Chains A and B, each alone.
Chain A
Amino acid sequence: EAGVVQSPRYKIIEKKQPVAFWCNPISGHNTLYWYLQNLGQGPELLIRYENEEAVDDSQLPKDRFSAERLKGVDSTLKIQPAELGDSAVYLCASSPRDGRGLQFFGPGTRLTVL
C-alpha cells in the first residue's frame, strides 16, 4: 500500500510570501494530522481532521495559517504571509478508523523562509 504522500518536499520562499503544502493520506484513513517539527524537536500538532471535519485546531495560528480537507481525503495547509519563524518541517500523518492509534507519517515538507 502506498504511504502518506506530501508535496513539495522542499520549499524556499521570502518572508511575507504565501506558501501551500499538500498531503494525500493512506487510502481509507479517516484521520489526518498536520504537525510542525522544528530542528531537534518532536512533532507538534497543528490540526487534526476526522474525515473533513477539523476536530482539533487549537494549536493552529489562525491569523496566518489555514487548512482544508475537502471530501475528507487530501488536505492542504497554507501559510499567508510566511514569517522567518515558520521555517521548519511540516509533517502530515494519517490513521485508520480502527482507533488502535497507529499513525503513519509522510516524508514532510521542509520550509525555509528567507
Chain B
Amino acid sequence: GENVEQHPSTLSVQEGDSAVIKCTYSDSASNYFPWYKQELGKRPQLIIDIRSNVGEKKDQRIAVTLNKTAKHFSLHITETQPEDSAVYFCAASITGNQFYFGTGTSLTVIP
C-alpha cells in the first residue's frame, strides 16, 4: 500500500515567519493530497488540498505544491500567527476513498 512520510515532526517559527512542511509518498497512482490541521483535543480539519493535475494551489496564507515526478508535496504557511499553532497532517489518496496519513508535524508559532 501507500507509504506517506512527513517532515519535520516538530517545527517552531517566530510569528510572521514562514513555515514549510514536506511529505513524500510512494505510490505514483496517488492523485489527491489533502492537508489537515488538528488543534489539541479537537478533530482534524481540512485546510487545503491539491489534485495531481495541478502543481500548486493557494488559499490566502496557505499554499500547497505538488511534484509528481519526485512524489512529494509541501504545505507552505506565510505570515504565521499564534493561532496557526497545531499539528498538521498530510495525506495521500488514490481513489478518493482510501487515505494514507503522514505522522504529523507539530507547529509552534512563537509570539
Contacts and interface: CB of A to CB of B under 8 A. Distances in A.
A99 B96 contact: yes
B97 A43 contact: no
A101 B50 CA distance: 11
Interface residues of B, number: 24
Contacts, number: 58
Interface residues of A, number: 25
Given A42-B101, A43-B89, A43-B101, A101 B96 contact: yes
Contact of B43 (A31, A41, A102, A107): A107
B97 A95 contact: yes
A96 to B, nearest CB: 10
B103 A105 contact: no
A93 to B, nearest CB: 8
Interface string A75-108: 0000000000000000100010001111111111
